[in-house]
Amino acid sequence: MRSLPITLKTVDVSLVLRMAERAARPASRRNYLLLSRSADGWLYLASPLLVAIVSLQAALQFLTVCGAAFVIERSLYWTIKNTTRRNRPPESIPGLRSIVIANDRFSLPSGHTSGAFLFVTMLAQCLHPLWALGYLWAGGVGTSRVGLGVHYPTDVFAGALLGTGVGLTVAGSLL
Protein backbone atom coordinates (compact mmCIF):
# COMPACT_ATOMS: atom_id res chain seq x y z
CA MET A 1 0.00 0.00 0.00
CA ARG A 2 2.89 2.36 0.70
CA SER A 3 4.00 2.27 -2.94
CA LEU A 4 0.75 3.81 -4.23
CA PRO A 5 1.34 7.32 -2.86
CA ILE A 6 4.94 7.24 -4.08
CA THR A 7 3.77 6.20 -7.54
CA LEU A 8 1.07 8.88 -7.56
CA LYS A 9 3.62 11.49 -6.50
CA THR A 10 5.98 10.34 -9.24
CA VAL A 11 3.24 10.63 -11.86
CA ASP A 12 2.24 14.05 -10.48
CA VAL A 13 5.80 15.39 -10.71
CA SER A 14 6.38 13.82 -14.12
CA LEU A 15 3.25 15.46 -15.55
CA VAL A 16 4.14 18.86 -14.07
CA LEU A 17 7.59 18.68 -15.66
CA ARG A 18 6.16 17.59 -19.01
CA MET A 19 3.63 20.43 -18.96
CA ALA A 20 6.38 22.90 -17.99
CA GLU A 21 8.32 21.87 -21.10
CA ARG A 22 5.25 22.49 -23.22
CA ALA A 23 4.70 25.88 -21.53
CA ALA A 24 8.09 26.99 -22.83
CA ARG A 25 6.46 27.28 -26.27
CA PRO A 26 4.96 30.76 -26.73
CA ALA A 27 1.63 29.49 -28.12
CA SER A 28 1.18 27.02 -25.26
CA ARG A 29 2.09 29.64 -22.68
CA ARG A 30 -0.38 32.11 -24.20
CA ASN A 31 -3.16 29.49 -24.21
CA TYR A 32 -2.45 28.47 -20.61
CA LEU A 33 -2.58 32.09 -19.50
CA LEU A 34 -5.81 32.75 -21.41
CA LEU A 35 -7.54 29.68 -19.98
CA SER A 36 -6.35 30.39 -16.45
CA ARG A 37 -7.40 34.03 -16.56
CA SER A 38 -10.83 33.08 -17.88
CA ALA A 39 -11.46 31.48 -14.48
CA ASP A 40 -10.31 34.45 -12.38
CA GLY A 41 -13.92 35.13 -11.38
CA TRP A 42 -15.11 37.97 -13.61
CA LEU A 43 -17.07 35.57 -15.81
CA TYR A 44 -18.94 34.21 -12.79
CA LEU A 45 -19.94 37.71 -11.72
CA ALA A 46 -21.10 38.75 -15.20
CA SER A 47 -23.09 35.60 -15.96
CA PRO A 48 -26.33 36.55 -14.13
CA LEU A 49 -26.46 39.75 -16.18
CA LEU A 50 -26.12 37.75 -19.39
CA VAL A 51 -28.83 35.31 -18.26
CA ALA A 52 -31.09 38.29 -17.44
CA ILE A 53 -31.09 39.25 -21.12
CA VAL A 54 -33.06 36.05 -21.77
CA SER A 55 -35.03 35.75 -18.53
CA LEU A 56 -35.00 37.86 -15.39
CA GLN A 57 -36.59 35.05 -13.38
CA ALA A 58 -33.93 32.56 -14.53
CA ALA A 59 -31.21 35.09 -13.73
CA LEU A 60 -32.49 35.61 -10.18
CA GLN A 61 -32.74 31.87 -9.58
CA PHE A 62 -29.28 31.32 -11.06
CA LEU A 63 -27.82 34.14 -8.96
CA THR A 64 -29.34 32.75 -5.75
CA VAL A 65 -28.42 29.12 -6.30
CA CYS A 66 -25.00 29.86 -7.76
CA GLY A 67 -24.24 32.35 -5.00
CA ALA A 68 -25.06 29.77 -2.32
CA ALA A 69 -22.95 27.18 -4.12
CA PHE A 70 -19.93 29.49 -4.36
CA VAL A 71 -20.13 30.40 -0.65
CA ILE A 72 -20.08 26.70 0.25
CA GLU A 73 -17.40 25.82 -2.31
CA ARG A 74 -15.07 28.68 -1.31
CA SER A 75 -15.45 27.78 2.38
CA LEU A 76 -14.59 24.13 1.72
CA TYR A 77 -11.79 25.09 -0.66
CA TRP A 78 -10.17 27.38 1.91
CA THR A 79 -10.53 24.82 4.71
CA ILE A 80 -9.06 21.98 2.64
CA LYS A 81 -6.23 24.13 1.30
CA ASN A 82 -5.21 25.36 4.73
CA THR A 83 -5.59 21.94 6.34
CA THR A 84 -3.61 19.92 3.79
CA ARG A 85 -1.02 22.69 3.32
CA ARG A 86 0.47 21.05 0.25
CA ASN A 87 3.36 23.03 -1.20
CA ARG A 88 3.09 24.22 -4.77
CA PRO A 89 5.26 22.51 -7.41
CA PRO A 90 8.04 25.16 -7.53
CA GLU A 91 8.58 24.71 -3.78
CA SER A 92 8.86 20.94 -4.12
CA ILE A 93 10.46 20.34 -7.53
CA PRO A 94 14.05 21.63 -7.79
CA GLY A 95 14.55 24.02 -10.69
CA LEU A 96 10.87 24.43 -11.54
CA ARG A 97 9.63 27.98 -11.91
CA SER A 98 5.99 28.87 -12.28
CA ILE A 99 4.86 31.21 -15.02
CA VAL A 100 2.37 33.03 -12.78
CA ILE A 101 2.38 33.94 -9.12
CA ALA A 102 -0.35 32.09 -7.27
CA ASN A 103 -2.80 34.03 -5.11
CA ASP A 104 -2.13 31.88 -2.07
CA ARG A 105 0.57 29.66 -0.63
CA PHE A 106 -0.79 26.13 -0.92
CA SER A 107 -1.86 24.05 -3.90
CA LEU A 108 -4.47 21.44 -2.90
CA PRO A 109 -7.14 21.79 -4.26
CA SER A 110 -6.93 24.00 -7.33
CA GLY A 111 -9.30 26.90 -6.71
CA HIS A 112 -9.46 27.94 -10.37
CA THR A 113 -10.43 24.40 -11.33
CA SER A 114 -12.93 24.05 -8.51
CA GLY A 115 -14.59 27.35 -9.41
CA ALA A 116 -14.71 26.48 -13.12
CA PHE A 117 -16.27 23.06 -12.51
CA LEU A 118 -18.75 24.54 -10.04
CA PHE A 119 -19.74 27.24 -12.52
CA VAL A 120 -20.33 24.78 -15.37
CA THR A 121 -22.26 22.45 -13.06
CA MET A 122 -24.51 25.32 -12.00
CA LEU A 123 -25.08 26.40 -15.61
CA ALA A 124 -26.03 22.85 -16.61
CA GLN A 125 -28.25 22.30 -13.57
CA CYS A 126 -29.97 25.70 -13.50
CA LEU A 127 -30.23 26.67 -17.15
CA HIS A 128 -29.81 23.89 -19.70
CA PRO A 129 -28.05 20.50 -19.85
CA LEU A 130 -26.12 21.57 -22.97
CA TRP A 131 -24.06 23.82 -20.72
CA ALA A 132 -22.33 20.59 -19.66
CA LEU A 133 -20.20 21.10 -22.76
CA GLY A 134 -18.51 23.74 -20.61
CA TYR A 135 -16.71 20.93 -18.78
CA LEU A 136 -14.29 21.01 -21.72
CA TRP A 137 -13.45 24.61 -20.79
CA ALA A 138 -13.24 23.72 -17.08
CA GLY A 139 -10.86 20.85 -17.89
CA GLY A 140 -8.77 23.29 -19.92
CA VAL A 141 -8.63 25.63 -16.93
CA GLY A 142 -7.31 22.78 -14.79
CA THR A 143 -4.77 21.78 -17.42
CA SER A 144 -3.58 25.37 -17.68
CA ARG A 145 -2.93 25.54 -13.94
CA VAL A 146 -0.59 22.54 -14.22
CA GLY A 147 1.04 24.02 -17.32
CA LEU A 148 1.63 27.32 -15.54
CA GLY A 149 3.44 25.43 -12.78
CA VAL A 150 1.17 26.30 -9.86
CA HIS A 151 -0.61 22.95 -9.41
CA TYR A 152 -0.12 19.22 -9.59
CA PRO A 153 -2.61 17.14 -11.59
CA THR A 154 -4.00 15.72 -8.33
CA ASP A 155 -4.73 19.29 -7.15
CA VAL A 156 -6.73 19.80 -10.34
CA PHE A 157 -8.55 16.48 -9.94
CA ALA A 158 -9.46 17.39 -6.34
CA GLY A 159 -10.67 20.82 -7.50
CA ALA A 160 -12.83 19.27 -10.21
CA LEU A 161 -14.38 16.87 -7.70
CA LEU A 162 -14.98 19.66 -5.18
CA GLY A 163 -16.60 22.04 -7.67
CA THR A 164 -18.76 19.39 -9.31
CA GLY A 165 -19.73 17.80 -6.00
CA VAL A 166 -20.78 21.07 -4.38
CA GLY A 167 -22.63 22.12 -7.54
CA LEU A 168 -24.64 18.91 -7.76
CA THR A 169 -25.38 18.92 -4.03
CA VAL A 170 -26.55 22.54 -3.93
CA ALA A 171 -28.56 22.23 -7.14
CA GLY A 172 -30.17 19.05 -5.83
CA SER A 173 -31.11 20.79 -2.60
CA LEU A 174 -32.31 24.15 -3.95
CA LEU A 175 -33.79 23.38 -7.35
Q: Where are the domains of the chain?
A: 3-174
Q: Specify the fold of 3-174.
A: Vanadium-containing Chloroperoxidase; domain 1 (1.20.144)
Rounded (10°) CA dihedral 85, 88, 93, 98 = -170
Return d(Cα 145, Cα 40) in angstroms, integer. Answer: 12
Contact between 83 and 6 under an 8 Å Cβ cutoff? The reply is no
| Closest alpha carbon to 110 in 132, 140, 65 | 140
Averaged pLDDT of the chain:
91
- List Cα–Cα distances, 153 to 74, 90, 131, 142, 150, in angstroms: 20, 14, 24, 8, 10
pLDDT tens readout for residues 22-77 = 888 999 999 999 999 999 998 898 888 888 888 888 889 889 999 999 999 999 99
CA dihedral 156, 160, 165, 171 (to 10 degrees): 140
φ and ψ at residue 138, rounded to 5 degrees: -60, -40
Stated pTM of the model? 0.91
For the stretch 78-101, pLDDT in tens is 999 999 999 999 998 998 888 888
